């Protein structure tokens, strides 16, 4: 069946927006961002690689007064090298900035700050130490991800959270190399892992890790296991059921019509 995007309809809910932002990560993003709100951790939000806006729309939902969301994406602009060009042609050939903006504005009154450029441009545009949450989900090639992790380190404040997408997917070995290299050699401390993403910090991981374990062990829809590797505590989270209890999601201004109840005969 054609998706809402293929038929150029507006998304009726977040999960109508095409992308790779799965329910467990929607729960985890929300948990990390809500915890920062609870602790009054201030700072901006940054996403490298927005595609059609699925994860950016959720980030925008958690912005507080005075905070800013910045997204950086090529949105069809010329990639900086041949390998990145091949990646874009294979996976994102129909992406347009206009489609991102249409989706984003279906849920929010104003657009985020958009940097339409290779992700290496963010360090010149975003102030060092100004962010509390950075989602690294642009190119999945080692040379780019390695640079994006360096940018995240520079732009995050002390206890900020970085999320690395596709750190263990079969088709993205470069992300795996960059992610574990950051853990082993660049001071990144893993807080937890989902099936797709590694959540980490360059601050103290223990308080947030302990809270996360306690919070998620109290849920019957998510499994949590803990193991040690190379001196790091790795907290794995996994969806136990198909339909997770969803977090608070932003509402679309174009909700799908509610089907009328069938008439009793």
- Give me the residues that bind ligand SAM (CB under 6 A), please: 19-21, 49-51, 54-55, 72-74, 79-80, 84, 88, 92, 95, 118-119, 137-139, 144
CA distance 37 to 257: 33
Compute the least distance from the CB of residue 165 to ligand SAM, in Å: 7
Compute the least distance from the CB of residue 226 to ligand SAM, in Å: 27
Tell me the CA distances in angstroms from 74 to 99, 144, 260, one per residue in order.
13, 13, 42
Q: Which is nearer to ligand SAM, 147 or 205 (CB)?
A: 147
Total residue length of the chain: 265
Compute the least distance from the CB of residue 213 to ligand SAM, in Å: 25
Q: Which is nearer to ligand SAM, 72 or 178 (CB)?
A: 72
Compute the least distance from the CB of residue 137 to ligand SAM, in Å: 4
Q: Which is nearer to ligand SAM, 53 or 205 (CB)?
A: 53
Compute the least distance from the CB of residue 73 to ligand SAM, in Å: 5
Q: Which is nearer to ligand SAM, 138 or 193 (CB)?
A: 138
Q: Report DSSP letters for the chain, one per residue.
A: ---TTTTTPPPSSGGGS-SS--HHHHHHHHHHHHHHHHTT---EEEEE--TTSHHHHHHHHT--TT--EEEEE-TTSPPSSHHHHHHHHHH-TT--HHHHHHHHHTT-SS--EEEES-GGGHHHHS-TT-EEEEEE-S--SHHHHHHHHHHHHHHEEEEEEEEEETTT-TT-HHHHHHHHHHHHHS--EEEEE-SSEEEEESS--HHHHHHHHHHHHT-SSEEEEEEEETTEEEEEEEESSSS------PPPSSPPPPPPPPPP-
Q: Which is nearer to ligand SAM, 22 or 234 (CB)?
A: 22
Q: Which is nearer to ligand SAM, 55 or 209 (CB)?
A: 55
In the bound state, the residue with its beta carbon closest to ligand SAM is 19
Compute the least distance from the CB of residue 201 to ligand SAM, in Å: 20
């Amino acid at each position: 069946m054609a998706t809402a995007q293929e038929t150029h309809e507006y998304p009726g809910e977040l999960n109508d927006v095409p992308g790779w932002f799965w329910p467990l990560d929607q729960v985890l993003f929300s948990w990390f961002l809500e915890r920062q709100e609870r602790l009054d951790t201030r700072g901006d939000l940054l996403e490298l690689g927005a595609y059609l806006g699925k994860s950016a729309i959720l980030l925008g939902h958690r912005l507080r007064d005075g905070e800013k969301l910045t997204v950086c994406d090529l949105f069809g602009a010329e990639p900086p090298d041949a390998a990145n060009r091949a990646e874009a042609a294979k996976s994102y050939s129909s992406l347009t900035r206009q489609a991102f903006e249409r989706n984003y504005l279906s849920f929010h009154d104003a657009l985020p700050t958009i940097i339409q450029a290779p992700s290496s441009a963010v360090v010149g545009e975003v102030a060092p130490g100004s962010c509390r949450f950075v989602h690294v989900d642009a190119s999945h090639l080692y040379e780019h991800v390695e640079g994006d992790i360096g940018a995240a380190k520079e732009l995050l404040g002390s206890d900020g959270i970085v999320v690395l997408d596709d750190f263990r997917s079969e088709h993205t070995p470069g992300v795996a190399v960059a992610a574990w290299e950051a853990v082993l050699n660049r001071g990144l401390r893993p807080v937890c892992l989902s099936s797709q993403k590694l959540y980490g910090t360059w601050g103290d991981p223990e308080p947030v890790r302990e809270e996360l374990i306690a919070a998620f062990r109290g849920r019957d829809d998510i499994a949590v296991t803990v193991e040690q590797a190379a001196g790091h505590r790795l907290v794995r989270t996994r969806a136990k059921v198909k339909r997770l209890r969803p977090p608070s999601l932003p509402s679309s201004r174009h909700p799908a019509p509610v089907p009328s109840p069938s008439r009793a005969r």
